[in-house]
Amino acid sequence: MGRKQFSALLVVVIGLGLAGGVVGWVFIGHSASAQKRSEPERAESDPPKIILTEEIRLIDKDRKVRATLSVQPDGSMGLHFIDQAGRPRLAVGLLPDGSPVLNLADQNGRLRTGLSLMEDGSPGLAFHDQDGKLRAGLGLDHKGSPGLAFYDQRSERRLNLILLDGNPSLGLYDPKDKVRIGLGVGGNRGSALILSDQNGKLRAGLGLQPDGTPGFKLYDGGGARRAELALTPQGKPDLSFFDESGNRQERRERSSFNSSRNGQ
């Protein structure tokens, strides 16, 4: 499995950046109270068929706003439901780009989960903790490939599980969002485990070719392959060394190992 295949296994197909936009839209202020009517209004015998307004508010028997339907200056619009304590709990609407969203909030009015569609139609489901931090996301990319991501307390991605073109891969990230460990299966039926440094550079890879032959590769800080230990299809060990440009400098097969050992 080549280096490009290793990298392809770790492509992040779930952005979940939509969660940030959802949070900003979720619940627009509902502090204004409904105006008190001087007397009960009688139903009109011929009510208007069209109502033109930017916002509609529904109140309960205690004159508390319980639901609003509004259009914002940025073009977003939403239907918001509020509990008896005045906290927003459910919102359905459209973002300024026209993407639909559905958000659920807890008893403190904090966003806990959101369902949305990206501009390309890709669906995503985001989960937030009690502090409103993004902790997990599930979604599909524009090609329909599913992905699952997990985030730490700072909403930094730490684990990604994806199925890209039918090939599964797992990526583990450090606090700086650099892939440090990758595990996956390629389209050619090969499999690989890769290790990267703090800069996200590939430094070591252990893999199996489609024919089952194993190989272990070591890379320098610039990403150039410098050493490789593998078995040939015939089962013979093969040790190779490379220069900074990736050109083979020395190669030793099983016969060379035996000769060196006999000469000792």
Which value, to the nearest 10 degrees, does the dihedral of the CA atoms of residues 69, 74, 75, 81 take?
A: -20
- Residue 62, classed as helix, strand or coil, is coil
**DSSP element (H, E) containing 228:** strand 225-231
Place of tokens 């919102």: 91
What are the phi and psi torsion angles at 81 (to 5°)?
-115, 135
Which of 13, 19, 28, 17 lies closest to 101, judged by CA? 19
The per-residue pLDDT string of the chain (264 residues; one tens digit each, 9 = 90 and over) reads 333 333 333 333 233 333 333 333 344 443 333 334 444 455 566 778 888 899 999 999 999 999 999 999 999 999 999 999 999 999 999 999 899 999 999 999 999 999 999 888 899 999 999 999 999 999 999 889 999 999 999 999 999 999 988 899 999 999 999 999 999 998 777 899 999 999 999 999 999 988 889 999 999 998 899 999 999 888 899 999 999 887 888 776 655 545 444 444
Q: CB-based contacts of 255: which residues, under 8 Å, 6+ apart?
A: none
Radius of gyration of the chain (CA): 29
pLDDT, residue 1, reads: 37
> Is pTM beyond 0.95 here?
no
Whole-number Å distance between alpha carbons of 8 and 187: 10
Q: Residue 40's Cα: distance from chain center in Å?
A: 52
pLDDT, residue 43, reads: 54
- Pair 148, 138: CB distance under 8 Å: yes
- Pair 80, 28: CB distance under 8 Å: yes
- Pair 127, 135: CB distance under 8 Å: yes
